[in-house]
Structure formats: structure tokens, C-alpha cells
Amino acid sequence: MSNERLRSALLARGMSVQDLAEEIKVNPKTVERWITQGKVPYRRHQYATAAALQVDVTTLWDDSRTLESATDLSKAEIVAVHPHRHTVPPNLWREMYERAETNLDVLVYSGLFLSEDPLFIDLLKKKVEGTTQVRILLGDPGCEAVRQRGIDEGHRIMDGKIRNALVNYRPLFKSHPEISFRLHATTLYNSIYRSDDEMLVNPHVYGIGAYMAPVFHLRRMPGGGLFDTYVNSIEQTWGGARQVTDRDITGA
């Protein structure tokens, strides 16, 4: 029986059988058998394949041993758990983003505390002058999801907090257009702060502000699926977001 999930994952990544074989150092005919005959590779090759395709290993194979190992790997991706965002060491945000070489992403509604940090602003400038892609995703101030999140947090001013963040970032729009800003209308269940293969995830809890909610510090591991679950959330939200306009900042 063929493995259509593996075939689909290859297509989604734009990779050929030859590409995958070279990446994980096996014979292309071996990869073909995994797809066309449903052969199950050694676990080391399963994990290498999952890492190359950036998917959870259990997405490709249902081997019970693989499932158990993948569960352990996902647990191992959790570096630390902080009971509240305000208990995260103050320098951790900047130190994590300082390590970014390829990807620096911020997915939030307002993330006002970051926009108010001049050292973070300077860090963004430095990163785009190098090799790092910087993407800042804020909530669309006029959308229903933002209005509802303000109600859920008990203050009803989420749109104002977003506009304040936009004002703080505004000097970057002209001085550093390489920094990409977009607005989303998504119902967020987490704020996500990504730096390459490391991230902080701040769940949204009904009735309290994000600063009171927990924060999970994650680090990607080959074969683990937890980190990539949140990366996919960033990518999907980015794809549906729009550019920032002056009206978004002024509200006029």
C-alpha cells in the first residue's frame, strides 16, 4: 500500500525523491519504496525525513514505537515553563532574538511591551541589515477578533494598544522597509515569538491579560512536532494578513 502522506509532504515542500534521498543520505530507490510500496524505514530515517520535510514524524508513519518516541521528543522540545509572562527573565526576549540568523517572527495582537523597548527596536534594525528575515504580525485594530480579545481581557482597549504599538514602530516603516509589518484578523489562541529554532509561546487565557498567562519556551528537535505546530500557525496567519496603512495608526 502506498504512502500518500509521504508523497504529499514531499510535494508540499517542493522536494523530489532525489532531493530527499540526498538530504538524508539514502538511495533514491529506497525512498521510492517508502512511497510506492509503503515500506517503513528505520526510525533514524523516519526522523531524518520528518526533519527534512518539517513535519511531525507521526504524520508520515503510524508505527507505535515511532509514536511513543515522537511523544518523548515533543516533551523534550519544552525548555522551560514560566507561570506568567511577567515572570519570564526580562532579558530572555532580547537574548533569544539576538540569536536569530534566518527567522525573527512576532505574532501577537499588540505586543506593546516589545514595541516600547528601544533595545528591541535597535535589535530589529541590526537583524535586517544582516541575513535575518523579520516579520511583525499585529492584530487589525478594527477587526472583530481584536474587539473580542479586549472584552475577554476585561479592558476593551486592545485596538488602542495596537495603535500605540504601531506608533512606536512607525519610524521603522521608512527607515527600515526590510522589516515586514502586517495586520491580521485572526482569533489568536497564543502569542508566538520565534527566533530560528527557538520560540516563546504565550497562551491566551479567558479573563486575564497575556502578561498573567503562562509562557512556554520551546526549542525545535528533529522528529518532534510541537515546535513546528506553532511555526505553521505563524505561516498561515502571515499568509492571510494585510499591509499596514496610515489609517491603521491614526484611526482616522
Residue-level pLDDT at 170: 94
Give yes or no for a contact between 81 and 58, defined as CB atoms under 8 angstroms apart.
no
**Three cell numbers, residue 151:** 472584552
Q: Which amino acid appears at position 167 of this protein?
A: V
DSSP state of 101: S
**pLDDT tens digits, residue range 32-88?**
999 999 888 888 888 889 888 888 787 888 765 555 555 666 678 999 999 999 999
Q: What is the pLDDT of residue 75?
A: 77
Sheet arrangement for strand 242-243 = 78-82, 215-219, 198-203, 190-195, 103-107, 133-139, 180-184, 242-243
What phi, psi does 40 have (nearest 5°)? -100, 120
Residue ranges in the chain whose pLDDT is less than 70: 63-74, 223, 252
Closest CA to 171 of 128, 121, 106, 134: 121
Amino acid at 115: S
